[in-house]
Amino acid sequence: MGILKKLRLIYGKLYKSFGPQRWWPADTPFEVMVGAILTQNTNWQNVEKAVANLKKNKALDPVKLYRMPLKKLALLIRPAGYFNIKAKRLKNFLKFYLDDYGAKVKNMRCVNRHILRNELLCVNGVGQETADSILLYALHKPVFVVDAYTKRICSRHGLIPEDASYQDAQKLFMQNLKNDVQLFNEYHALLVRAGKDFCRKSKPRCGICPLKDLL
């Protein structure tokens, strides 16, 4: 079976099983960017608590967050884990967002996605997945977001080797599918959704994996 066909088959099965995932769960593009950093190696439920703390203090704003003392910021985002390092990473990103783009999403959307990706990767604390999450979910650029679940599911289905790089996995999708923002949005979200139930490092299975008959 061709790769394109298999990728479409997987997508169809996941969508039929789980339905639309409505990503990214945030009220504004800026909230997406903050969430992208807070969710690094962290359960989304913990991120929600951190974001709620920011909202409760009316601090979910680029300038207010950037001016906030590091200790206070760390305290507010504490539930997200790694709070000291994430407070610094947030400030690193905020400085870039303020200095280079005037804290305007619109200004960022004007920039070529390859250029912008490289700029994001220069921010200490923003790696490939975080950069791509911001590009896709906050700025609506057609880039495929790769995470641990994506690699695990794809390697299990023989689409990439087990030790594939981020770019290997990303190319699998971007070179075989139409580069469509809505498709990439839903596909990544579905892979995460499926991974949580059926492709964790170790967890008792619940229900029946919709991709079981493809293995």
| Among the listed residues 84, 118, 167, 175, the single contact to DNA using CB under 7 A | 84
Q: Is 198 in the site for DNA (CB under 7 A)?
A: no
Among 76, 108, 154, 192, which residue interacts with DNA (rule: CB under 7 A)? 192
At 32, the amino acid letter reads V
> Per CB under 7 A, which of residues 45..64 are in contact with DNA?
45-46, 49
**Can you tell me the distance from the alpha carbon of 53 to that of 14, in angstroms, rounded to the nearest whole number?**
33
Q: Is 171 in the site for DNA (CB under 7 A)?
A: no
Tokens of 199: 């492709």
**81 sits near DNA (criterion: CB under 7 A):** yes
The distance of closest approach from Cβ of residue 187 to DNA in the complex, given in angstroms and rounded to an integer, is: 13
Give residue 193's identity as a one-letter amino acid code: R
- Among the candidate windows 4-12, 61-69, 103-111, 190-198, which touches DNA by CB under 7 A? 190-198
Helices (runs of H) and strands (runs of E) counted in the chain = 12, 0
Please, how many CA atoms are within 13 Å of residue 30, restricted to the half-sphere of its CB?
19
Distance, C-alpha 196 to centroid of its chain: 15
Number of residues that bind DNA (CB under 7 A): 43
Per the CB < 8 A criterion, the answer to whether 194 and 149 are in contact is yes
Rounded distance between C-alpha atoms, residue 180 and residue 140, angstroms: 10
Among 1, 2, 16, 41, binds DNA (CB under 7 A): 41
CA 66/CA 95 separation, integer angstroms:
7
Contact 104, 113 (CB under 8 A): no
Residue 93 touches DNA, criterion: CB under 7 A: no
- Choose which of 98, 103, 111, 148 interacts with DNA (CB under 7 A): 148
Within residues 115-134, the interface with DNA by CB under 7 A covers 123-131, 133
Q: Which of 64, 109, 113, 196 binds DNA (CB under 7 A)?
A: 196
Nearest distance from C-beta of residue 81 to DNA, angstroms = 3
Q: How many CA atoms lie within 13 A of 24 on its CB side?
A: 28
Q: Which residues would be at the binding site for DNA (CB under 7 A)?
A: 23-25, 35-36, 39-46, 49, 78-79, 81-86, 123-131, 133, 137, 147-149, 192, 195-196, 200-203
